[in-house]
Structure 1
């Protein structure tokens, strides 16, 4: 793969001026990828892809190698670190979010914390570079072109990408699917805990915790909290006049103060600030 840039490039995108299903928070190319350690993860969905050389990424104790034509999608707020193997490592990266990003990725079955590869010469090879070049030249302030780019990237990853050495992970994901579907319906219940979740699969809470972390890279409780926040973000943008305390209750939080504190921790802004930013 020949990179489209000779020097380090990072573009931090402006928040879209109108409602869009997905958007790019930042996008970039790093010809000499340095070591990155994020103990609290990154607040957005994070795609990391090798251009040349090779790197290693560690996600909550699981290590993955990233040679050329390989990439990985990291979920929000999950601790991770990555570093160069050998003399040098160059990368593309893409940070994305939006009220429909999680449902769309679920429809496409884009898996988190799983290495993808693709044949040389197919579109994923340099698609991030094309998106970065287009974003640098674009005068679009609506966020629509940005949203189209995210859609195109995810579809091309689904079309050409193949998961690497994930037969065990995939079988675990199938086993956990009934719980994932259950949480998508029952996330509003503030009394939902590890006991209720493990009972769905007739296994112990400790065993569930281990299976979930091995499959998704984070615990069932972290998944539930992230799901509740994602659902609240959808309501904040689609139900513009609904009071925050009602959003909190509808998202599964016991009270507004807990909701606001959790939202601020994960999104680095309050629910009101999020609504003002993304609803015009």
Structure 2
């Protein structure tokens, strides 16, 4: 078990390890007020039950569970020995990182490879205890990689809808390809929904689950990104030419949308970003 004494400079890092360890014979844990840090636990053998957010989860070998600070929970073995390892982390950017990755207050997911995940956790421990003068920031980097691995595993875990997050990405890939290659055209929801054989309502719901936005807002985002490329290109295109090139029929509307998104007009953007 590792419960490090943290240096003041360590707390400046976006993510840092607070503690890590494991139990070959995990006993019942009840935390009615939750835990003080972000924690992920994973099962190396046996099985147990996790009770959290009014739900009960069966935790088998290769399963992992995560919870944020102050989330009440309970877990206990049902097939002994229940071998569990864990790592606790904090940091001034952790909340934003787990939000970005789509983690809720708690998550249960299956690891792609228990052995590989365990090796990554061991690498965090080894780095923390080595003599490298930069070990704190390197430990932070390894913890970031571990979070990415957790996100990948979570996205492959089937959701109540029956599809994992990755399967939803794949379902929408023809729509994304259409938007990337035909952004200059007058595309509507019907065109996008037809590309994957669903209704427009289903398309919007699926799109929001994956990208946290609407298909039309995503299309506008693509168009504005291309507009910035054209504005900074050596071709020195007129604003109305840029607007037409990225799918805006009305240059005035293009300028209004651009300024709302970027905070400056297209001409000012070109001037500020000139090289």
TM range (shorter): 0.5 to 0.7
**Equivalent in the alignment of 1:24:** 17
- Indicate yes or no: 2:125 matched with 1:132: yes
Aligned to 1:52: 45
Task: Tell me how far apart the structure 2 counterparts of residues 162 and 125 of structure 1 sit (CA, whole Å).
Answer: 19
Rounded to whole Å, the distance in 2 between the matches of 1:47 and 1:12 is: 17
Question: Any idea what SS the aligned residue of 2:2 has?
Answer: strand
- Offset at residue 81 of structure 1 (A): 0.8
**What residue number does 2:62 align with?**
69
Note the C-alpha offset of 1:85.
Answer: 1.4
Superposed, 1:33-112 pairs within 5 Å as: 33-112=26-105
Partners in 1 of 2:85 and 2:98 — Cα distance? Answer: 20
Q: Aligned residue pairs: how many?
A: 163
Measure the CA separation in 1 of the matches of 2:139 and 2:8. Answer: 9
Partner Cα separation in structure 2 for residue 16 and residue 147 of structure 1:
15
5+ residue gaps, structure 2, are 165-275
Q: CA 1:37–1:27 in 2, change beyond 3 Å: closer, same or farther?
A: same
- From the superposition, tell whether residues 91 and 133 of structure 1 become closer, same or farther in structure 2 (CA, over 3 Å): farther
Distance 2:145 2:126 in 1: 15
Deviations 1:217-244, CA, capped at 9 Å, x for gaps: xxxxxxxxxxxxxxxxxxxxxxxxxxxx
1:14 and 2:22 are equivalent in the alignment: no
For residue 167 of structure 1, give the secondary structure of its aligned residue in structure 2. coil
106 and 26 in structure 1: CA distance in 2 versus 1, 3 angstrom threshold: same
Q: 8 Å contact 1:114–1:166 — kept in the other structure?
A: no
Query: How does the TM-score come out when normalised to structure 1?
Result: 0.51
Q: CA RMSD in A?
A: 2.7
For residues 113-166 of structure 1, the C-alpha deviation after alignment (integer angstroms, 9 at most, x for no partner) is 221112236732432233223333355577212211211101122234445453
- TM normalised by structure 2 equals 0.52
User: How far 1:33 sits from its partner (Å)?
Assistant: 1.0
> How far 1:17 moved relative to its partner?
1.8
Distance 1:90 1:123, change over 3 A: same
Which has the bigger relative contact order, CA under 8 A and spacing at least 6? 1
Residue 148 (structure 1) aligned with residue 152 (structure 2): no
Segments of 5+ residues of structure 1 without an aligned counterpart are 1-8, 172-280
In the TM superposition, residue 93 of structure 1 has moved relative to its aligned partner by 0.7
